[in-house]
A and B are shown apart, each in its own frame.
Chain A
Amino acid sequence: GAVVSQHPSWVICKSGTSVKIECRSLDFQATTMFWYRQFPKQSLMLMATSNEGSKATYEQGVEKDKFLINHASLTLSTLTVTSAHPEDSSFYICSARGQSFFATNEKLFFGSGTQLSVL
């Protein structure tokens, strides 16, 4: 249990185009999803929190018009990087809050990440 599928694993796009990243909870309903950004050999920085059916809450300094987040169902959240530029190149990771599956009682599960490279 507790599988979070994130696609694509990597994507290369031209500057000025938009890219959509999907995050799906395969065997549980994710009431809340989180999107993080990670630069090489650095920490994960929270970008935004999304709850199903409502607008995402963005962290300070994150451009909501550039990073569009949609959480239309309890199993799918998408992050769209609009008008991508080389400085948007990064590793993007989603995490989903679900139910407890394991002895640790932890309810937060991570996707495998998406490497975005903007040329």
Chain B
Amino acid sequence: AQTVTQSQPEMSVQEAETVTLSCTYDTSESDYYLFWYKQPPSRQMILVIRQEAYKQQNATENRFSVNFQKAAKSFSLKISDSQLGDAAMYFCAYRITNDYKLSFGAGTTVTVRA
């Protein structure tokens, strides 16, 4: 069974600063995807970033970037130049390549201070 662990229940960041959310996972698969999803107060799940395990290059999406360490099974998310709209719960998620069901971590609530 695959497990996804987020060890930070809450993180706080000053506006315009950088915050890093950590995620580790356990799997015996070699081919899989990792994701970071954002869930704002509206509770709509929003895809932030996606990483294919076979790619060594870390994914980036504007102010969001990941540090993917496959051997260590670590997948952290860095939010640069934090904005008030970044305040939300962030979930790390995993799935194998040919199955679209996701395993989610417990989530990290990010608060942005003005």
Q: Tell me if A67 counts as interface (CB < 8 A to partner B).
A: no
B12-39 CB contacts (< 8 Å) to partner A: none
Q: Tell me if A97 counts as interface (CB < 8 A to partner B).
A: yes
Q: Tell me if A15 counts as interface (CB < 8 A to partner B).
A: no
16 further A-B contacts with Cβ under 8 Å, apart from A97-B100, A104-B50, are A34-B100, A34-B101, A41-B89, A41-B107, A43-B104, A44-B45, A44-B104, A46-B101, A46-B102, A91-B43, A93-B45, A95-B45, A104-B47, A108-B100, A110-B44, A110-B45
* Interface residues of B, count at CB 8 A: 18
In angstroms, Cα B42 to Cα A95, docked, is 16
| Interface-centre pick from A32, A49, A104, A112 (highest chain B CB count, 10 A) | A104
In angstroms, Cα B43 to Cα A41, docked, is 10
Chain B residues with CB below 8 A from A107, complex form = 100
Q: Which residue from chain A places its CB closest to the CB of B44 in the assembled complex?
A: A112
Q: Tell me if B91 counts as interface (CB < 8 A to partner A).
A: yes
Question: Is A112's CB under 8 angstroms from B42's CB?
Answer: yes
In angstroms, Cα B100 to Cα A97, docked, is 7
In angstroms, Cα B107 to Cα A57, docked, is 26
* Interface residues of A, count at CB 8 A: 22
Question: Is A106's CB under 8 angstroms from B47's CB?
Answer: yes
User: Closest CB-CB distance, B66 to chain A, in whole Å?
Assistant: 13
Known: A91-B43, A113-B44. A32 touches B100 (CB 8 A): yes
Q: Which residue from chain A places its CB closest to the CB of B35 in the assembled complex?
A: A106
Chain A residues with CB below 8 A from B104, complex form = 43-45
Query: Could you list 18 examples of A-B contacts with CB < 8 Å?
Result: A34-B100, A38-B43, A41-B89, A43-B91, A43-B105, A44-B45, A45-B104, A46-B102, A95-B45, A97-B100, A106-B47, A108-B100, A110-B44, A112-B42, A112-B43, A112-B44, A113-B43, A113-B44
Q: Which residue from chain B places its CB closest to the CB of A97 in the assembled complex?
A: B100
User: Closest CB-CB distance, B31 to chain A, in whole Å?
Assistant: 15
In angstroms, Cα B104 to Cα A97, docked, is 17
In angstroms, Cα B6 to Cα A41, docked, is 14
Chain B residues with CB below 8 A from A106, complex form = 47, 50
